[in-house]
Amino acid sequence: MRLVKFALPVLFVAALALFGARAWTDAADTAARNLAVEHSRSQFAQRAAVVRGAPDLERYRSEQKQLLRAWFAEQTDLGNRWPALRGQAAPFVPPAPRVKGGDLREYQELAEAGVGAWREGRLELQQSALSGGLRVDLLKVTKNGNHLAADLAIWGAPQEIEVEETRDGRQLQKASVPLTFRGLSLRFFDADGKLIAEMPGEGEPSLRLDLPERLVHDAPPGLVLARYEPGLLPHEAAEIEWTISAQVRTSTGESRPVLATFRTKNEPAWTVAAGEAWGGKERTLSKEEEKAQKPAAKAQAQR
């Protein structure tokens, strides 16, 4: 009986010591992992700033692919070093966004579509343009019923994190990106470079996801994903000119315009069927416009 009375307190103290040691080890692992994650995010942001300034599309494509490959390799390494914490968001990433009148799964799918391809080593990139210090990538265009889904990635937009204290004393993080979309406009050219139709568009995209790392833990920082859904395109067009208009607020509070314009070839999967009426805005060029188009088309052909 005396042995039992002596052993019980000893076992209790040993259990408390073991529990305390485990809690201390977990806290130390969490702190070390958080520091490593933030260091990785800081390094990516610095390297991405250089990649954004690539002089041409092919150089940008190559450097961006290497940048993303290194990022995901490092995220895998961090997960292997702290397997118990694998899949957790970075320490200063706000919680998942609240969607009013929408479906969060659409935003999850938008994030997974882009980040998932990069994680697998695939860089889906139709075109890209640098404007206002931001890089605007046209990732992919797919047909979705009677309209298209044009997925965009915008790199380099600043992130603003505000911390508010609730009534019960908890701290609540709110994230925002001072980037405002003005619209996506399309112009269509035939095989001779003549403008044959246009599709002006204004307003925010149908889907916009700031800080995708709120939904996908290994999404790279400094990224905004967006999806515009224009109508189907005229099948007569040989080339499409895409213009994404936006503005970003700088550190001085001023608004800087962002105007990304690039051309792609038209794809049969993007157009209305041959013989079907196109619902966009078509117009016939005047003689003066036709004359102005010919030198531009000739210069384009000589490039």
If you write DSSP's letter for every residue of 78-145 in order, what string do you get? HHHHSGGGTTPPPTTPPPPPP-SSS-HHHHHHHHHHHHHHHHTT----SEEEEETTEEEEEEEEEEET
pLDDT at 287: 40
User: How far apart are the C-alpha atoms of 162 and 176, rounded to whole Å?
Assistant: 8
Quote the pLDDT of residue 284: 42
Q: CB neighbours of 66 closer than 8 A, spacing ≥ 6?
A: none
- In which residue ranges of the chain is pLDDT below 50? 24, 282-290, 293-303
Can you say whether the dihedral through the CA atoms of 13, 15, 19, 25 is positive or negative? positive
pLDDT on residue 134: 97
What global pTM score does this model have?
A: 0.82
246-258: per-residue pLDDT in tens?
999 998 889 999 9
Length of the chain in terms of residues written: 303
pLDDT in tens, 75-113: 999 999 999 888 888 887 887 877 766 688 999 999 999
Give the H or E element holding residue 147.
strand 147-155
Cα–Cα distances in angstroms (integers) from residue 152 to residues 70, 206, 228, 291, in the given order = 22, 12, 8, 34
Q: Among residues 217, 216, 202, which one has the least CA distance to residue 110?
A: 216
**How far is it, in rounded angstroms, from Cα 55 to Cα 129?**
10
pLDDT value, residue 169: 73
Per-residue pLDDT at 10: 56
User: Cα–Cα distance between 199 and 233 in angstroms, integer?
Assistant: 9
The percentage of residues in the chain with a pLDDT greater than 70, rounded to a whole number, is 82
